[in-house]
Amino acid sequence: MTGSLGVQITPWSSSAALVELGRKLGTVVDTVWVQDQMLARNVYALLGALAQAGCGVGTNVTYPIGRNPIEMASAAATISELVPEGREMVVGMGTGGALVNSLFTKDRPVTVVREAMELMRALWAGERVELDRFPVLGGTLNYKPGNEDSGKVKVTVLMPLDWSRPFTLFQLDSSAQAPWAKTTVTAFAFICASSCAVVPQ
């Protein structure tokens, strides 16, 4: 991330009020971060409107638990096209909070987040992505892996659009040391676990 100053807004006010606030903040800060709260204004719709209003934008943080990461990748890439020149779209990703915990089964949530990030990055890079590469994530989506013996077809996904605007995906990773002061991070990963650190990718 190249931005040096950001501010987080909560999606509990009206969308019009939040976009107007974003217009004002966009002249002062590099990134307007929006919380992803399931029962509030939709984070992706707000980010698109804020980007159109002139802001660099980011999710703080979104989650793939109970969501289709192919749609999340498409939403983020679409928003990145609306971000003004010199600004960024940043996707912060974690395992979800209390409401997500109460609504969805979280079997190996850190792995689900990692696989969602790998899938999204591959799609943004224009790669053909075989969904069998993501067994834990696929299991949460009830995807049935294909194999030649069962006669099931392996599913391959490709985003056929040219996503020309760069954006950053990050995750909290519990397995790394925190190199905050020593590292300039352009893309980093975020997965919520017991201890958190930022790791360059």
**pLDDT tens digits, residue range 67-100?**
999 999 999 999 999 999 989 999 999 999 889 9
Question: Please, what is the Cα angle at 30 between 71 and 72, to 5 degrees?
Answer: 5
Q: Is residue 88 part of a domain?
A: yes
Q: Is residue 1 part of a domain?
A: no
Provide, rounded to the nearest whole percent, the portion of the chain with pLDDT above 70: 71
What are the angstrom distances between the C-alpha of 52 and each of 14, 29, 76, 129? 17, 15, 14, 30
What are the angstrom distances between the C-alpha of 122 and each of 31, 125, 156? 24, 5, 12
Please check the confidence at residue 147 and state whether its pLDDT lies above 90. Answer: no
Q: Bridge partners of 199? A: 189
Q: Is residue 85 part of a domain?
A: yes
Domain span at 70: 6-200
Q: Average pLDDT in the 120-138 region?
A: 88
**pTM exceeds 0.85 for this model:** no
Q: Is residue 62 part of a domain?
A: yes
Q: Is residue 153 part of a domain?
A: yes
Please check the confidence at residue 133 and state whether its pLDDT lies above 60. Answer: yes
Q: Give residue 148's pLDDT band: very low, low, confident or very high (50, 70, 90).
A: low
When mean pLDDT is compared across 28-32, 49-53, 57-61, 136-140, the lowest value belongs to: 136-140
Please check the confidence at residue 116 and state whether its pLDDT lies above 70. Answer: yes
Q: How many domains does the chain have?
A: 1
Q: Is residue 28 part of a domain?
A: yes
Query: What is the H or E stretch that residue 157 is in?
Result: strand 156-157
Please check the confidence at residue 8 and state whether its pLDDT lies above 60. Answer: yes
What six digits make up the tokens of 46? 């707000």
What is the domain-level CATH number for residue 34?
3.20.20.30
> What is the end-to-end Cα distance of the chain in Å, rounded?
12
Q: Which residues of 116-151 are buried (b: 16+ CB within 10 A; e: fewer)?
A: bbbbbbbbbeeeebebbebebbbbbbeeebbeeeee
pLDDT in tens, 178-194: 332 222 222 333 332 32
- The residue with greater pLDDT, 23 or 152, is 23
Q: Is residue 183 part of a domain?
A: yes
pLDDT in tens, 39-55: 999 999 999 999 999 99
